[in-house]
Amino acid sequence: MPPEAAPLLEVEDLRVEFDTPEGKSRAVNGVSFQIQEGETLGLVGESGCGKSLTAMSVLRLITPPGRIASGRILYRGRNLLTVSEPEIRKVRGKEIALIFQEPVAALNPVFTVGDQIAEAIRVHHKVSKKDALAEAARLLKLVQIPDAERRVREYPHQMSGGMCQRVMIAMALSCKPSLIMADEPTTALDVTIQAEILDLLRRLKEEFRLSLLLISHNLGVIAGSADRVAVMYAGRIVELAPVREIFASPKHPYTIGLLRSIPKLGERKRSARRRLYAIPGTVPDPYAHEAGCPFAPRCPDVMQACRREDPRLLPLEGGRKVACFLHHPAHPSSEAATS
């Protein structure tokens, strides 16, 4: 049996902190995952759980008062947290591209979309502005923007949200990266445009043999696009598994709660008077730094061990990993307990 190929990206024990007058906030707390060549990893979780900060950390885009406190980020075996600033600039856009949230806000309103794509090209390639603009028009055609030669001279405010998202995808593709991180690529778009954007990403991934980190709070987006799923809660990954296993048989109580909260077709008449399921309680205070599992105050299966120790993300069968004492009974502190 041939050895498994080395991952394209490997994040190990990443920790991001914010120093504020209220104290130290641990926004990302020990996140680890891998992305293989040609794979789509879905990073899912509610707003504020640390998904976007994880992606921005990969390209060292965290700014004060935030900082990357510890960890390793290996891209093709090289630790991006230790390379010089000029070296990381060569990685940004050329090797790893980031599609930001809110494309209308991410684009500069005083420059044409063609100029903005051309600038990204000229940062990494020695080409004339004329050639870069021609390439920008070609990329707009590639992402299915009609009349690209005219649109390349337009400003972001002249385009719809879906068009601006396509511009961001064109910009991400401009330097032919190996990995694209798409942060909530369908937020604020209507359902039809969402489907078009996801279909476009899937097609471009196959055509250019890309790897993709797809960040979303929308489980439907993740279900239809990802190969594996990492579920985040309060700055940690609590479950990591192939996409079919996550949806068919979730293991972590938080993942189970997320899936239960999704409305299902056919249940409207049977449960007309029943409210939608909601996970009880609230997300923990990021300044608290209390011992134990951060989900313990909201968990229906809480044990004494959960209140004392933070469970590690440990492997189960089938390539799945779960950070929960329920599924690691051999742990010395995993005795059954009262809540």
Write the pLDDT tens digit of every residue in 146-159. Answer: 999 999 999 999 99
What's the mean pLDDT when you consider all of the chain? 90
Q: Which of 251, 254, 185, 253 lies closest to 221 in space, CA to CA?
A: 185
Q: How confident is the model at residue 339 (pLDDT cuts 50, 70, 90)?
A: very low
Q: Is the pLDDT of residue 1 over 50?
A: no
- Percent of the chain exceeding pLDDT 90 equals 72
- 246: which residues sit within 8 A by CB, 6+ positions away? 229, 231, 239, 255
Residue 183's closest CA among 173, 168, 171? 168
| pLDDT score, position 329 | 63
- What is the token pair recorded at 86? 């000029």
Tell me: the pLDDT tens digits for 94-128? 999 999 888 888 999 999 999 999 999 999 998 99
Q: Region 158-178: what's the mean pLDDT?
A: 94
Mean pLDDT of the region 60-87: 96
Which pLDDT does position 4 carry in this prediction? 67
Helices 129-142 + 161-173 axis angle, to 10: 120
Q: CA end-to-end span of the chain, whole Å?
A: 47
Q: What per-residue confidence (pLDDT) applies to 332?
A: 47
Average pLDDT in the 192-219 region? 93
Residue 2 pLDDT more than 50?
no
pLDDT tens figures, 294-310: 999 999 999 999 999 99
Above 60 in pLDDT, residue 145?
yes
336 — pLDDT class (breaks 50, 70, 90): very low
pLDDT in tens, 310-335: 999 999 987 899 999 998 765 544 44
Q: Which two tokens stand for residue 116?
A: 């903005």
- The tally of CA atoms less than 13 A away on the side-chain side of residue 195 is 2
Please report, as a single letter, which amino acid is at residue 17. E
What digits encode the pLDDT tens for the residues 244-296? 999 999 999 999 999 998 877 665 555 555 677 889 988 988 887 788 999 99
pLDDT number for residue 3: 53
In DSSP terms, 79 is beta-bridged to 74
What is d(CA 311, CA 8) in angstroms, rounded to the nearest whole number?
27
Place of tokens 């078009």: 196
Kind plus residue range of the DSSP H or E element containing 42: strand 40-44
Q: Which amino acid appears at position 320 of this protein?
A: R
Residue 273: the pLDDT is 59
| pLDDT at residue 269, as a whole number | 55
User: From the CA atom positions of the chain, what is the Rg in Å?
Assistant: 21
What is the CB neighbour count within 10 angstroms for residue 150?
A: 11
According to the model, what pLDDT value does residue 291 have?
Answer: 86
What single-letter amino acid sits at 8?
A: L
